[in-house]
């Protein structure tokens, strides 16, 4: 201990307001010390957090340190603006300084009552103490006791060490949280020859990196700056660097929006700069942009707490307009990319090809269907799995006029959140049950007519042909169109413009297109005909021919399937073996009229029972 002191002149209210109140948590206090070390040309900063017993925080840097004369003249001078003194660069001239307001040293008292500062420069070591209780008692001038005065030390040991004790924090230190907070406050940790590490008690040191600012954020898409896709004319656009990210899942509230940095330190926390961000899609956007040019403006626009720029300024107003435009454009791009990704995932997982289905609809219905499917696919609140079920449901329900009216109402809404959309579909389900009930009543009479044809063993031509042509859903509920008795040549010429055929025309009963765009060949036999090996071989020839000439030319046509419908299956072992083999491969299926009858009856009876159940519960009325 020496008899010397270093003087700190101040207004007690200044320390109370700008120190104790503004820096009441650990991260901003440590951030100020890191900024000081950076400005002092430190190559390394080590932070020690001790909470076994009495809490203590130590921050050491390898910067150029301070002489005794500079302690009082510069370091302890409250409100000194080093940039107004012409000091835009660090002492080495290699770094643009981060510090500006001259109040960072007050941050100590936000969390601690006692501070010990040791600094070494040019072979001389000085140390002194700042005590919060003594400062408050001293009035407007505090003479800090000096423990070491120009003590001799090694000239290669320059740097500053700050020890905080009598810490007012009750909870233990969280080094990972501190590292992430520092990464979100600075963008300098990947610079050459600047390293910051945190050690908690006896644990292994944790290095701080810029990438930590996105801890827990899984990137789906990203946009690098300068942003080349914007037509917005802004004079500083080419000087803006950084990245905006669209995450796979919503980011946390503190990370939602774009943060701004200048000279490697935060100057504006995450936000969307006046852009209306009510859509759920904005919860996926985060990122940071470097706008160093704001530090070069004549008027100081950086807030004291570095959480927000002063936007009441002509220059910042222009910057805000540019950021609004860019955010809106990137938001629109990310919605399209997410929608396309979801659409592709659904196609891979389920085979539902929305674009293909839409193309098959009449023009006036296609636009409506496009709107309702877009509501599902582009709604970020509806995940891929839920979207699969909704799209399948919409495709099935689109056959009803009542659903089209419902779809039209939903499509006219600007944006529907996922919960509201699903609620609307549940409301439609009640309407759908009623529609299906009425439809099913009509179809039950058709099923009874099919039973009569079976009992009468009606001829396949023309009776059964005409009957199934009128009621194709009896063959397969998925069939949405078919062609009756077309030759291969007509079929190929109409759809695929083949000019030459290498095989003579053969006649088939039906060629149908399913919702999944698989091709169906359906061979009808009489209701009492026994399907034998010859029937199967003939169907196999048809299937192979059609697959060779059509299946391979359509990207979306995954297979050609043949159905043979007859009275019963042959009991011949050879025929049974062929039926089993082709059924296993999914190439040929043998159905009986009785099976079609029972399947159709069961399928539609479910709708009748569902409706009657809802009606009995009082959920429906005529």
124-131 vs 112-121, strand pairing mode: antiparallel
Residue 428 has pLDDT above 90, yes or no: no
Q: pLDDT per residue over 301-357, tens digit each?
A: 988 778 899 998 899 999 999 999 999 999 989 888 888 888 888 888 878 888 888
Token pair for residue 166? 């009598």
- Which top CATH class is 440-604? alpha beta
Q: Can you tell me the mean pLDDT for 84-106? A: 74
457: which DSSP letter?
Answer: T
Q: What is the pTM of this model?
A: 0.62
Per-residue pLDDT at 504: 47
Class of domain 216-330: alpha beta
Integer Cα distance of 203 and 190 in angstroms: 23
DSSP reduced 3-state for 236? coil
> Which among 263, 307, 256 has a CA at the least distance from the CA of 279?
256
The DSSP secondary-structure symbol of 460 reads: I
Percent of the chain with pLDDT over 70: 75
pLDDT in tens, 229-275: 877 889 999 999 999 999 988 898 889 999 999 999 999 999 999 88
468-480: pLDDT as tens digits: 777 777 776 656 5
Residue spans per domain, the chain? 5-213, 216-330, 338-432, 440-604
pLDDT at 411 over 80: no
Of the chain, the percentage scoring pLDDT greater than 90 comes to: 33
pLDDT at 409 over 60: yes
- Mean pLDDT check: name the lowest of 496-500, 556-560, 611-615: 496-500
Q: What is the pLDDT of the chain when averaged over all its residues?
A: 80
Q: What is the mean pLDDT of residues 167-187?
A: 92
Say which DSSP state 285 is in.
E
In 3D, which of 73, 69, 143, 75 has the Cα closest to residue 104?
75
pLDDT in tens, 288-309: 999 999 998 988 898 877 889 9
d(CA 224, CA 243): 5
pLDDT value of position 368: 80
Task: Return the H-helix or E-strand segment holding 567.
Answer: none
CATH of domain 5-213: 3.30.565.10
Read off the tokens for 137: 């008692």
Q: 186: which DSSP letter?
A: B
Residue 414 has pLDDT above 70, yes or no: no
Rounded to 10 degrees, the C-alpha dihedral 141/146/150/155 comes to: -100
The two structure tokens encoding residue 471: 């009621």
Mean pLDDT of 125-153: 88
Banded model confidence at residue 620, pLDDT cuts 50, 70, 90: very low
DSSP state of 340: H
Phi, psi of 513 (to 5 degrees): -115, 120
User: DSSP state, 68?
Assistant: H
Cβ atoms of residues 23 and 32 within 8 Å: yes
Position 523 confidence tier, pLDDT thresholds 50, 70, 90: confident
- 524-577 residue pLDDT tens: 888 889 999 999 998 888 888 777 766 444 444 457 888 888 889 999 999 999
The least confident of 117-121, 148-152, 193-197, 423-427 is 423-427
* Torsion, CA 498, CA 503, CA 505, CA 506, rounded to 10: -120
How many other CB atoms sit within 10 Å of the CB of residue 155?
Answer: 11
Strands 257-262 and 510-513: unpaired
Q: Please report the pLDDT score of residue 622 as a whole number.
A: 43
CA separation for the pair 516, 502 (Å, rounded): 29
């Amino acid at each position: 201990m020496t008899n010397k002191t270093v003087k700190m002149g101040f207004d007690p209210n200044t320390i109370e307001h700008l120190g104790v109140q503004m820096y009441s948590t650990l991260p901003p206090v440590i951030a100020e010390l890191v900024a000081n070390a950076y400005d002092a040309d430190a190559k390394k900063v080590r932070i020690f957090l001790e909470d076994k017993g009495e809490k203590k925080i130590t921050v050491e840097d390898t910067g150029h340190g301070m002489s005794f004369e500079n302690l009082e003249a510069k370091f302890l001078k409250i409100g000194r603006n080093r940039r107004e003194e012409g000091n835009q660069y660090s002492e080495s001239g290699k770094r643009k300084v981060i510090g500006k307001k001259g109040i960072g040293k007050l941050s100590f008292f936000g969390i601690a009552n006692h501070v010990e500062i040791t600094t070494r420069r040019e072979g001389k070591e000085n140390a002194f103490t700042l005590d919060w209780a003594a400062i408050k008692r001293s009035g407007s001038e505090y003479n800090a006791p000096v423990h070491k005065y120009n003590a001799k030390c090694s000239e290669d040991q320059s740097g500053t060490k700050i020890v905080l004790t009598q810490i007012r924090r009750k909870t233990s230190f969280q080094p990972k949280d501190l590292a992430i907070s520092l990464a979100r406050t600075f963008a300098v940790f990947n610079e050459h020859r600047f390293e910051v590490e945190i050690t908690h008690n006896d644990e292994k040191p944790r290095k701080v990196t810029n990438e930590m600012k996105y801890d827990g954020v899984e990137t789906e898409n990203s946009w690098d700056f300068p942003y080349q896709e914007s037509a917005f004319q802004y004079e500083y656009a080419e000087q803006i660097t950084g990245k905006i990210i669209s995450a796979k899942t919503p980011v946390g509230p503190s990370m939602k929006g774009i943060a701004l940095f200048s000279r490697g330190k935060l100057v504006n926390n995450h936000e969307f700069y006046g852009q209306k961000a009510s859509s759920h899609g904005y919860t996926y956007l985060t990122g940071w942009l470097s706008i160093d040019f704001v530090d070069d403006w004549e008027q100081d626009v950086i807030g004291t707490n570095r959480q927000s720029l002063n936007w009441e300024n002509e220059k910042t107003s222009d910057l805000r307009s540019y950021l609004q435009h860019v955010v809106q454009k990137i938001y629109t791009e990310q919605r399209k990319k997410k929608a396309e990704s979801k659409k592709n995932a659904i196609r891979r997982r389920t085979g539902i090809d929305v674009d293909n289905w839409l193309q098959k609809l009449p023009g006036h219905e296609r636009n409506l269907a496009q709107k309702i499917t877009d509501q599902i696919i582009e709604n970020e609140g509806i995940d891929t799995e839920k979207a699969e079920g909704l799209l399948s449901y919409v495709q099935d329900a689109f056959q009803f006029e009542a659903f089209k009216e419902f779809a039209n109402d939903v499509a006219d809404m600007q944006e529907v959140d996922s919960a509201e959309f699903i609620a609307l579909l549940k409301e439609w389900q009640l309407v759908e049950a009623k529609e299906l009930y009425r439809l099913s009543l009509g179809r039950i009479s058709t099923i009874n007519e099919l039973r009569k044809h079976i009992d009468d063993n009606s001829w396949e031509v023309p009776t059964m042909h005409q009957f199934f042509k009128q009621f194709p859903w009896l063959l397969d509920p998925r069939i949405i169109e078919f062609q009756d008795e077309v030759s291969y040549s007509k079929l190929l010429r109409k759809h695929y413009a083949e000019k030459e055929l290498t095989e003579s025309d053969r006649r088939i009963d039906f060629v149908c297109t399913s919702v999944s765009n698989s091709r169906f060949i359906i061979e009808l036999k009489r209701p009492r005909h026994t399907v034998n090996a010859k029937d199967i071989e003939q169907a196999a020839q048809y299937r192979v021919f059609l697959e060779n000439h059509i299946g391979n030319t359509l990207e979306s046509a995954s297979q050609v399937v043949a159905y043979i419908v007859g009275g019963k299956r042959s009991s011949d072992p050879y025929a049974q073996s062929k039926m089993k083999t082709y059924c296993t491969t999914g190439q040929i299926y043998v159905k009986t009229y009785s099976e079609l009858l029972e399947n159709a009856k069961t399928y539609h009876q479910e709708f009748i029972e569902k409706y009657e159940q809802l009606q009995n519960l009082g959920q429906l009325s005529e």
